[in-house]
Amino acid sequence: MLNPDLATINLTPDDYERYSRHLILPEVGVDGQKKLKAASVLCVGTGGLGSPLALYLAAAGIGRIGLVDFDVVDRSNLQRQIIHGEEWVGKPKVQSAAHRIKSINPYIQVDIHEVPFTSENALEIGKDYDLIIDGTDNFPTRYLVNDACVLLGKPNVYGSIFRFEGQATVFHYEDGPCYRCLYPEPPPPGLVPSCAEGGVLGILPGMIGVIQATEAVKIILGVGTTLKGRLMLYDSLKMQFRELKLRRNPECPVCGDHPTVTKLIDYQEFCGIPQAEAEEKAMAIPEITVKELAAKLDQPGVVLIDVRNPNEFEIGRIPGSVLIPLSEIEDGQGVAKVKELADGKELYVHCKMGGRSAKALQVLAEKGVHGTNVKGGINAWSEEVDSSVPKY
């Protein structure tokens, strides 16, 4: 709990030794370390942000750490998700993270929530923690974490990343603004690429996650000036920090003076991802498996377009494929190229995992060019057809 009765908390001899460098700091001291010991923090997500922040919170002696994640460790996570190791590939992230935390600090409690964080369980899971840290990787879960924090009256320690840049702040702390005060609405699906599509500098979430951990510790200790009301922007290429002012919006639908959101909603729908519509759109585009494609490529009259970025094309390619990036198709100039290549031929389109190629085919279909999507993209090709093409 925050502001616990310090007389009821004892530090053990091991604690005195382990936290010696904290105890020496007048701003922490024995009382501060007791506050950390009495505190509980929920980390939603154990990925790029969740990894470094959970490591530091564990080392700092936060008494109870909750971990929420339903994902398993993928080899492509290891470039940045430093709480996980090679031997955990294919195994649940929460188990991996809990194991690592226990090796750093066996004297703290780790609660494992191996479930997706949803409108159905968010309040139930969140209510048992003093503060919640948003280490998620998508808009629906970010709005869910925010609304759950407001409804539960808990601070939301926020961080997010994109390629070389990050943002961090503390939402809904004391009288400060919430995520919806900053961004009342999410962008439409597909506008902002995910890390899997857009890439991310592996070190970047370390910087932002450590800012989140720092803010969490400051809130628990009650020292310093938090990021409440300030949005920290970080640019790793320029190595530059900037800050912008945030204000609470009295009209905010969740934390405003007259809230209209008084319980958790359907965040997929709020973020414009109606399941049926998305499936229907995807359904309209025919698909082929990589094995079927391999057989097709031996035949004449077939053209395969790769819509990834040139640097991804450099990593590996399916023999015979022609590179026309999605961005070129979206801005129109690529459409003419595809039209010319596909004239009188069977058109197949692929990307890394199948998402961007489906999008390209939707754009092409609107221009009267029809083709088939390669399910699972080049990663499926690597797994099922030719492992000499690297999966990434």
The least distance separating other proteins from the CB of residue 79, rounded to whole angstroms, comes to 13
Residue 62 binds to other proteins (criterion: CB under 8 A): no
Which span sits near other proteins by CB under 8 A: 31-39, 70-78, 102-110, 135-143?
Answer: 135-143
Residue 135 binds to other proteins (criterion: CB under 8 A): yes
Residue 239 binds to other proteins (criterion: CB under 8 A): no
For other proteins, the closer of residues 207 and 303 by Cβ is: 207
Distance CA 193, CA 190 (A): 6
Active site residue 271: no
Distance CA 164, CA 76 (A): 17
In the list 76, 105, 138, 362, the residue contacting other proteins (rule: CB under 8 A) is 138
Residue 376 binds to other proteins (criterion: CB under 8 A): no
The least distance separating other proteins from the CB of residue 100, rounded to whole angstroms, comes to 18
Residue 187 binds to other proteins (criterion: CB under 8 A): yes
Cβ–Cβ under 8 Å, residues 309 and 323: no
Which span sits near other proteins by CB under 8 A: 58-66, 163-171, 220-228, 278-286?
Answer: 163-171
Burial class (CB in 10 A: 0-12, 13-18, 19+), 98: buried
For other proteins, the closer of residues 61 and 135 by Cβ is: 135
Residue 247 binds to other proteins (criterion: CB under 8 A): yes
Distance CA 220, CA 2 (A): 6
> What stretches of the chain show up as alpha helix (H) in DSSP?
13-18, 20-23, 29-38, 50-60, 93-104, 122-126, 139-152, 179-182, 195-198, 204-221, 267-270, 275-283, 290-296, 310-315, 326-330, 333-342, 355-366, 377-384
In the list 22, 42, 47, 113, the residue contacting other proteins (rule: CB under 8 A) is 47
Residue 49 binds to other proteins (criterion: CB under 8 A): yes
The least distance separating other proteins from the CB of residue 40, rounded to whole angstroms, comes to 21
Residue 265 binds to other proteins (criterion: CB under 8 A): no
In the list 24, 191, 239, 283, the residue contacting other proteins (rule: CB under 8 A) is 191
Cβ–Cβ under 8 Å, residues 378 and 389: yes
Q: Radius of gyration (Cα) for the chain, nearest Å? A: 24
SS3 19: coil
The least distance separating other proteins from the CB of residue 98, rounded to whole angstroms, comes to 19
Which span sits near other proteins by CB under 8 A: 58-66, 95-103, 107-115, 238-246?
Answer: 238-246
Q: Which residues lie closer than 8 Å to 37 by C-beta, 6 or more apart?
A: 9, 11, 15, 61, 62, 63
Report residue 257: phi and psi, to 5°: -70, -30
Distance CA 210, CA 83 (A): 13
- The β-bridge partners of 234 are 166, 241
Active site residue 149: no
Distance CA 120, CA 113 (A): 14
Cβ–Cβ under 8 Å, residues 108 and 41: no
Residue 263 binds to other proteins (criterion: CB under 8 A): no
The least distance separating other proteins from the CB of residue 391, rounded to whole angstroms, comes to 21
Residue 3 binds to other proteins (criterion: CB under 8 A): no
In the list 139, 171, 267, 348, the residue contacting other proteins (rule: CB under 8 A) is 139
Residue 48 binds to other proteins (criterion: CB under 8 A): yes
In the list 243, 266, 292, 346, the residue contacting other proteins (rule: CB under 8 A) is 243
**Selected catalytic residue, list 178, 181, 195, 255:** 195
Specify the amino acid at residue 278.
A
Residue 240 binds to other proteins (criterion: CB under 8 A): no
Site for other proteins in 297-356 (CB under 8 A): 327, 331
In the list 28, 60, 221, 246, the residue contacting other proteins (rule: CB under 8 A) is 246
Report residue 289: phi and psi, to 5°: -80, 165
Q: Which residues lie closer than 8 Å to 172 by C-beta, 6 or more apart?
A: 146, 149, 150, 154, 155, 156, 178, 255
Cβ–Cβ under 8 Å, residues 233 and 242: yes
Which span sits near other proteins by CB under 8 A: 8-16, 96-104, 194-202, 380-388?
Answer: 194-202
User: Whose CA is closest to 56, among 275, 212, 170, 249?
Assistant: 212
**Considering CB under 8 A, how many residues would be counted as binding other proteins?**
45
Interface residues toward other proteins, by CB under 8 A: 45, 47-50, 134-139, 142, 159-165, 167, 182-187, 191-195, 198, 200, 205, 231, 233, 242-247, 249, 327, 331
- Known catalytic residues are 195, 351
